[in-house]
Structure 1
């Protein structure tokens, strides 16, 4: 195994791989696997829609820079801009 294998920056060891293999060989409870969360939290009473827009690389860089200054994600920043324009 390569020493570069990692998950979220944490190296994966041979022991961890062996533990995962043992867990898989023992089998999983299908009912427990199906009990998942609802996904992303809602933003209101209605489901949100994804809206695609085309931006130039320069526009994306400006939005990303300003979102980073505001310590927000790109989407959060754009939503706040839209809310303030309304």
Structure 2
């Protein structure tokens, strides 16, 4: 393992790896794991589609600034803009 491996910025130690291995060897409650669900929650009855969008650094900065002002995510602002196309 590389010395600089991290998870969410926290270094992964050999002790942590040993603890994970021991946990795996004891086994997991599969039913409990299945109840957690997979992925992000749905936004409607049909599956949502992920769309890649290329923006310039200036566009990203403007989007982030507005999102911060309005206490929203980038995705929320983009969805609102798309919804406004029908209005």
Under a length normalisation based on structure 2, what TM-score does the superposition of the two structures give? 0.63
Name structure 1 gaps, 5 residues minimum.
Answer: none
The alignment covers a number of residue pairs equal to 83
Name structure 2 gaps, 5 residues minimum.
Answer: none
How far has the Cα of 1:17 moved from its partner?
6.7
CA RMSD of aligned residues (A): 3.0
1:51 is matched with 51
Which segment is superposed worse, 15-24 or 34-43?
Answer: 15-24
> Is residue 78 from structure 1 mapped to residue 78 from structure 2 by the alignment?
yes
Under a length normalisation based on structure 1, what TM-score does the superposition of the two structures give? 0.64
Distance 1:78 1:52 in 2: 12
2:26 is matched with 27
Distance 2:20 2:54 in 1: 42
Regions of 4+ moved over 3 Å: 5-22
1:62 is matched with 62
